Amino acid sequence: MSKQNSTLQLSLGSLQFPLTFIALAVFVYLLVVAKSLLLPMVIAIGLWYLINTLAKRYSKLSIFGYKLSGFMCFIAAIASLGLGVAFVIELISRNISEVIQAAPTYQHNMELLFDDAVIALKLENQPTIKEMIGYLDVSAIIKGFAKLFTGIAGKALIVFIYVAFLIYEQRTFSNKITAISSSPTQEEKIRSTLKNIDNKIQTYLWVKTLMSALTGGLSFVIMKWVGVDFAEFWGLIIFFLNFIPTIGSLLGIVFPALLTLVQFDSIYPFMIISMGLSAVQMGIGNFLDPRMMGESLNLSPLVILLSLATWGTIWGIPGMFLSIPIMVIVTITLSQFETSRPIAILMSRKGQLSSL
């Protein structure tokens, strides 16, 4: 009998890897197929967490010696987020149309710039190079961005519906935990684990949002001082790009710098913007952000790269923005359980999870 049991265990063990691979393949397939359903839900969960984080911060504020009640903190958080979303939508819709109108001018300036470069470098086959520049249709690129933002705005209603249901269901979470617990000890352990995960995720979202806002704000000040067109729009884009490590920071420098190159006749604004935005990104990304974040973003560079590629392939550009927050949340969650902790260690940067 023991021999049969050992044979059965051996057979199940040999099937574990292929079954895991099949389950992973089915999971990825479902993510792709159910993109229109899952993506708004993931965004809604992020906004829901942000509301709770804001409410938690507001609860610590004191106005003339009085503190806001829990209900008022929640209302203030929802109102703050609503105003922020309204501001973003208004800014994007206003600037997108203006950028599209200015695109032909930028296209013309870019062609002149390349013509000057061809002459200065004494290159041959100038018409061929000019034809290559013709394929770089600035208007089409900008319209592509406009279509992306329009698509996101079109899903705003369903996202807000999901957020509303999450807020409504939040009231019953405590009773459900009590109902599924077999003993007071197990209930206390579940609540302690969930509270630890919740605190760390909220801390990550709060710090990352604050650092992104600071990066976008300082970049806006520099661009406004130089006189870059649509500085508010690019400051907002830099805010969102800051959620994508390395690649987002690089794009947050390249896009505005290229704009100054085709906007101004002189090379000096391009140099000022390039150096100024680089200093902001390096100062916040390499010094202030790690100090504020600690080891919350304790991910291996390889995991970050694979995450960007994977979620970008599955959900496109929105997936790239969500990839790192998703992986951070997964790592924090896995680190709280003994059985899954080794996976979190493999995903970490230094193999240390003392702060997770």
**CA distances (Å), 158 to each of 165, 217, 295, 324, in order?**
11, 30, 34, 23
Four-CA torsion 335, 19, 33, 330, nearest 10 degrees:
0
Q: What is the pLDDT at residue 240?
A: 83
Show the tokens assigned to 209: 């949002």
Q: Return the closest-CA partner of residue 63 out of 51, 50, 76.
A: 76
Query: What DSSP designation does 335 have?
Result: T
If you search the block for the tokens 């507001």, which residue do you land on?
Answer: 58
Helix, strand, or coil (residue 224): helix
Q: Residue 262 and residue 335: Cα distance in Å, rounded?
A: 49
pTM: 0.71
What is the Cβ-side half-sphere exposure of residue 16, based on CA atoms within 13 angstroms? 7
Q: Where are the alpha helices (DSSP H) in the chain?
A: 2-33, 35-58, 70-121, 126-134, 138-154, 156-170, 173-180, 184-226, 231-241, 247-263, 268-283, 289-293, 301-334, 341-347
Q: Residue 142 and residue 146: Cα distance in Å, rounded?
A: 6
Q: Return the closest-CA partner of residue 241 out of 280, 293, 275.
A: 280
Q: What is the pLDDT at residue 218?
A: 92
- What residues are paired with 63 via a beta bridge? 66
Q: Residue 353 and residue 111: Cα distance in Å, rounded?
A: 52
Residues 141, 144, 146: CA angle, nearest 5 degrees: 115
Phi-psi sector, 166: left (phi>0), alpha (psi -120 to 50), beta: alpha
Q: What is the pLDDT at residue 128?
A: 47
- The radius of gyration computed from the CA coordinates of the chain, to the nearest angstrom, equals 25
Q: Residue 247 and residue 251: Cα distance in Å, rounded?
A: 6
Query: What DSSP designation does 66 have?
Result: B
If you search the block for the tokens 């800051």, which residue do you land on?
Answer: 242
Burial classification of residue 205, based on how many CB atoms lie within 10 Å of its CB (0-12 exposed, 13-18 middle, 19 or more buried): buried
Q: What is the pLDDT at residue 129?
A: 45
Show the tokens assigned to 143: 């319209």
Show the tokens assigned to 340: 């899954």
Q: From first to last of its 356 residues, what are the pLDDT tens digits of the chain?
A: 455 555 545 554 555 656 666 777 777 777 777 777 788 888 888 888 888 888 888 888 777 777 777 778 888 888 888 888 778 777 777 777 677 677 667 666 666 666 666 666 655 555 444 454 444 555 555 555 556 665 665 667 788 888 888 888 887 887 888 888 777 887 788 788 778 777 777 777 778 888 888 999 999 999 999 888 888 888 888 888 887 777 778 888 888 888 887 777 778 888 899 899 999 888 887 777 767 665 545 677 778 788 888 888 888 777 877 887 788 788 877 877 777 778 877 777 766 665 44
**Which residues, including other chains, have CB under 8 Å from residue 139's CB and lie 6 or more apart?**
100, 103, 104, 107
Q: Residue 138 and residue 134: Cα distance in Å, rounded?
A: 9
Structural domain boundaries of the chain? 33-171
